[in-house]
Chains A and B, each alone.
Chain A
Amino acid sequence: MSKSEYFPQRVYVEKKSLDFPLTKRILKNVGPVPSEVIDEPQEVLEDIKASKDVIGLGKKYLLITRQKGEFVKPCPCTPGYLGCSYFILNTDLNCPLDCTYCILQHYLTNPLLTVHVNLEDLWRQLDIFLHSKRHRKIRIGTGELGDSLALDHLTENSVDLVSYFRNKRNAIFELKTKTVNIKNILKIEPGPNVVVAWSLNSFRIAREEEKDAPSVEERIDAAARVSERGFRIAFHFDPIIRHPDWEDGYKEVIDKLLVTVDPARIAWISLGSLRFPPALKTIIEERFPRTKIIYDEFIKGKDGKLRYFKPLRLELYKKIVGFIRKRGGEEIPLYFCMESEDVWREAMGWIPKGEENLELYLSSPLG
């Protein structure tokens, strides 16, 4: 198994999900991995509960099930800070990568890697959703509660999703990943409204805090190949983390990024500094006892999450925005994820007036 291709130790198929075409596709693609049909995921959860690292163990098992609720949801964002009006598409839940800071460790109650296979429901729900938003541009993506491409060699979902969205011109569809699992992407026809995005960090943070993820160089190289194939690409510096020599660390990555990919092909870059609910801190301490990233100067923000003391956030943002602008990225749309108006004003020099204003800003280069 290469670092970029995840295979579970075992696949659990919920009985009622057996007959879906996607189930059959996954079972074919996992090859010799043992699989088991179960009545309820609860059976598996009871078994792994007594493990020391339930979250880590959950990543080793793949659960095939149906989405019983809504596939499309507004991104929950965070109260008290500016939102970006994003919609999330929950096809897969959880991620095989094991980043120290990952919010999913706290957010998801089910630790199993989960794929929802009732795609007919997905297309139907999407049709209704996009019709209801037909008078505006919306951004939607699969990379919020999972990595968009980490399981793509098993599900091949990217092929179906890109085909679906290619003709839906009021939507900008984003696949967001830390992997280099781009085989399927390179085979399919790009769409002007389809963006493939990578989460990036300094080389040091990626090495020390993004366990099992490909290196930053590999991610940037993958982005360059996808861009050459004709897709628009995007990047997320999120979470930006203060660490010794962080200025050099982020400058180095931005330099590498903007000489490797054509800035004109970059749809947007988002910036967000490390933030987390207090309960995640306990989980991180238990699962990653050697990390120091949670012991910086965090204060309780307006949303109750821990975030860097504002002057420290501003320092991070101003430097990184400066690095991007000076390195040839003057025209790249930049935005903050979950930041306040005064941070926007001070670090970016403008404040989006409402969510639609931000949508317009981010979607304008995509036509």
Chain B
Amino acid sequence: MKKKNLSLKEISLEDERFRISYYFSLEKLILSIRKVGLLNPPLIALRDKHFILVSGWKRVLACIKLCLYSIPVFVLEEDDDLKKFLVAFYENFATREFSLLEKAEILSRLKKFGEDEKSIVKHYLPLLDIPSTLTNLESFLAFSHVEPEVKRVIHQKNMPFSSVKLLVGFTPQERKLLLPLLLPSGQNKLKEILEDLKEISRRNDIAPKKILSSKEILEITGSEKLSPLQKIDRIRVILRKKRYPALSSRKESFDSLLNKLKLPEAVMVKPSPFFEEENFSVNFSFGNSEELKTNLLKLQELALKKEFSAIFKLK
């Protein structure tokens, strides 16, 4: 490995064979280089008379932004792509955590450069904190192949492995339909939507695309009155009802009964989680003994009502 100064123009950025990072901010690095210069030279390799970048995309892009003319680089003299990539991998491995998508890119490159699957599972998955199974390797390889716009959302939302795995299970066309739903959702809602959609599709043998193109969902997505979050919530409810019809119907009956009973605002009556137990719980807050008495009195009146006993049929 030789160190030399190289004009930034001489580095070809089109060849991305060794690149594993795509989504990053350069601000802090630009400030650092401006203050103290580039202390850690990127790794470069010569290929077909062009210098290509092996490691240090962030550093080179920051230097370009700073309009530097030349920078110090290390030129790798190794011919084998796998060996070059491993230099880049171990250089990064020692200094930072890899994101989920970076891990996917690393594994995909290792495979592309000829590392055999058994060796990847045995040696590299543990280094990346991934349990050593071929199934996990296959999942990460699939992550590396999704469309760039999907990768951007995965990165933006910092989606966990389980949600990415669900998302990757859909077709590219379905993922395109799903993206607008995923962007405004929090992690839990996002996972719930993906899971419900997949499971309704598998259980009922209906393509997810067909479910997403149903009249009721199209009416919501096409509405100009609803905010993106309202749209997500309504679609979520529709999917939940389809996925859990009996439980949803039980919940609706319970809520409608409570509505009819006109409970005092401060009082909440709740069933056990999923109606699994026979008990109900009552919850209210009070600030003084007068409020406590009022609520207790109202609850006593409620318990005597004939309509109230109907909730016990819903246990």
Contact = CB atoms under 8 A, between A and B. Distances in A.
Interface of A: 46, 49-52, 54, 286, 292, 295-297, 299-302, 309-312, 340, 342
Given A50-B117, A286-B135, A292-B202, A311 B276 contact: no
A298 to B, nearest CB: 9
B36 interface: no
A50 B247 contact: no
B118 A50 contact: yes
A297 B134 contact: no
A302 B202 contact: no
Nearest to B245: A297
A155 B297 CA distance: 71
A204 B102 CA distance: 45
B250 A311 contact: yes
Contacts of B81: none
Contacts of A300: 273-274
- The 3 nearest A-B residue pairs measured at CB: A299-B274, A295-B203, A50-B118
Judged by DSSP, the binding face of B is: helix
Nearest to B116: A50
Given A52-B134, A300-B274, A295 B199 contact: yes
25 contacts: A49-B121, A49-B132, A49-B133, A50-B122, A50-B133, A50-B134, A54-B133, A292-B202, A292-B203, A295-B200, A295-B202, A295-B203, A297-B244, A297-B245, A297-B247, A299-B247, A299-B274, A301-B276, A302-B276, A302-B277, A309-B247, A309-B250, A311-B246, A312-B246, A342-B277
Interface in B227-259: 243-247, 250
A309 B199 CA distance: 16
Given A50-B118, A50-B121, A51-B134, A309 B278 contact: no
Contacts of A310: 274-276
B134 A299 contact: no
A286 B142 CA distance: 14
A161 B133 CA distance: 38
Nearest to B165: A282
A51 B275 CA distance: 42
A340 B275 CA distance: 12
A295 B201 CA distance: 10
A286 B275 CA distance: 30
A146 B146 CA distance: 41
Contacts of B203: 292, 295-296
B122 A49 contact: yes
A299 B273 CA distance: 9
Contacts of A292: 202-203
Given A50-B132, A299-B273, A302-B277, 14 more contacts: A49-B121, A50-B121, A50-B134, A52-B135, A292-B203, A295-B202, A297-B245, A299-B244, A299-B276, A309-B244, A309-B274, A310-B275, A311-B250, A340-B277
B133 to A, nearest CB: 7
A309 B277 CA distance: 11
Nearest to A311: B246
Contacts of A49: 121-122, 132-133
Contacts of A302: 276-277
Interface string B261-296: 000000000000111111000000000000000000
Nearest to A298: B244
Given A49-B121, A309-B246, A342 B278 contact: yes
From A50, A312, A340, A342, name the one whose CB has the most chain B CB atoms within 10 angstroms: A50
Interface string B109-145: 0000000011001100000000011110010000000
B117 to A, nearest CB: 7
Interface string B185-201: 00000000000000110
From A286, A295, A302, name the one whose CB has the most chain B CB atoms within 10 angstroms: A295
B272 to A, nearest CB: 9
B26 to A, nearest CB: 38
Interface string B27-63: 0000000000000000000000000000000000000
A306 to B, nearest CB: 10
A286 to B, nearest CB: 6
A286 B245 CA distance: 26
A104 to B, nearest CB: 17
A344 to B, nearest CB: 12
Contacts of A51: 134
Contacts of B250: 309, 311
A312 B245 CA distance: 11
Contacts of A299: 244, 247, 273-274, 276
Contacts of A54: 133
Contacts of B118: 50
